[in-house]
Structure 1
Amino acid sequence: MVMQTSAAPAGPLRRMPVQGRSLARVHRMLDACAELVDQVGYDGLTTTLLAERAGVAIGSVYQFFPDKRAIVQALTLRNLDAYLDRLSKRITDGQLHNWWDAVDAAIDEYIAMHRHVPGFRTLHFGDVVDVHLLDEERDNNVVIVERLGSLLVEHFGLRDEPRLRFNLAIAVEIADGLIKYAFRRDPDGDELVLAEAKSLIRDYLHRHVDSEQAG
């Protein structure tokens, strides 16, 4: 399963593709990047390798991207959008009835990306490259917290307070660390570790978010 959106990735592109063929070529480059980072790692990735894998001229790569960091940044942003789109769809489809169900779903989708999305278990949401890959001024996990927090506030009526963002930040850091640990223990993700991660996060957020929102 490859989670991919049809829209052009934003941010690191030198110019936006305006024709369907150009957009398809950019996505081929990102798909090639995802495959290569799993095989050779970020350090081994080169624009030459990427052009060969994507079946494009090296000039086409530089037409849209200044360097390999920008390509990885675009791939990471595409993955983030796909992750949030899938989570939003589960919420709007009525599959999730409470905010803690949405938290469970957020963890499940993150695990699914590790298992099924090429390049994701190598790059995650960019920390391997730069802790500010998603946003020059904020840590990658802070960006995730802001986006998740907005979903919870919009769809479940939680009060948008600094304490909520703080609690979500703690939960995201715990989840990120334990899920990475689970995939170091087992290529498919150690189920015992993943279950503990979900239990810890649910208990933590119930204890803190419920009490804060009730106060």
Structure 2
Amino acid sequence: MLDACAELVDEVGYEGLTTTLLAERAGVAIGSVYQFFPDKRAIVQALTLRNMEAYLERLASSWADGSSTDWWDGVDAAIDEYIAMHRSVPGFRTLHFGDVVDVHLLDEERDNNAVIAGRVAQVLVEQFGVAETQRLRFALEIAVEAADALIKLAFRRDLDGDDTVLGEAKALIREYLHRHVDA
């Protein structure tokens, strides 16, 4: 059902998504949809959580290969994976990490980008020994917001992502974080 949801979101958008369309695409009875999900928001939330886990798994894999030697390499990989998911994961370009549906889809207390920034901070601390500080968390929240906005712009300008905008986004984030992160 989540795969069908991802396909439909790309085709008709979140507003056009219905549980009836989902049931038809997934080849299940409408009752089966409601057995697992009370409404379309819950379906999209499950898809968003799956995407976030996939994103974090992809990051872990890219960092495990040893090619990331310092914290910036880790941040660079995080941006690259986000771009790659926009290009290759059904539904991701439309939903991102759920902000289209609800900015608190991943966590009732924090907005979606703050959740992502927190997870990236956790990995930078564990993987690269970056000092865990309020300054780090704040800087990553700003960086995630900026990167998210610029990546969305790149994909509005070009369906595959405008490489010039993506390059500028990475340069901007690199410069900002170099000034604000203690490594």
TM-score greater than 0.5 by the shorter chain = yes
1:33 is aligned to 5
Deviation of 1:206 after TM superposition, in Å, equals: 1.0
Distance 1:50 1:171 in 2: 35
Which of 103, 115, 120 pairs up with 2:75? 103
2:169 is aligned to 197
Q: Secondary structure at the match of 2:181?
A: helix
Question: Percent identical across equivalent pairs?
Answer: 78
The aligned runs of 1:25-174 (5 Å cut-off) are 29-174=1-146
1:73-125 deviation line (CA, Å, top 9, x unaligned): 00000000000011011112212111100100000000011111111111111
Superposed CA RMSD in Å reads 0.8
Distance 1:90 1:151 in 2: 12
Please, what TM-score do these two structures have when normalized by structure 1?
Answer: 0.84
Distance 2:43 2:127 in 1: 33
Distance 1:96 1:208 in 2: 20
1:131-169 deviation line (CA, Å, top 9, x unaligned): 001111110001001100000000111111100001111
Unaligned runs of 5+ in 2: none
Q: Secondary structure at the match of 2:68?
A: coil
The residue identity in structure 1 corresponding to 2:18 is: T
Are the counterparts in 1 of residues 135 and 180 from structure 2 also a CA contact under 8 Å?
Answer: no
Distance 1:92 1:120 in 2: 24
2:181 is aligned to 209
Distance 1:32 1:164 in 2: 38
| Regions of 4+ moved over 3 Å | none
The residue identity in structure 2 corresponding to 1:187 is: L
Please, what TM-score do these two structures have when normalized by structure 2?
Answer: 0.98
Are the counterparts in 1 of residues 125 and 132 from structure 2 also a CA contact under 8 Å?
Answer: yes
1:3 is aligned to none
Q: Secondary structure at the match of 1:126?
A: coil
Distance 1:159 1:151 in 2: 11
The residue identity in structure 1 corresponding to 2:2 is: L
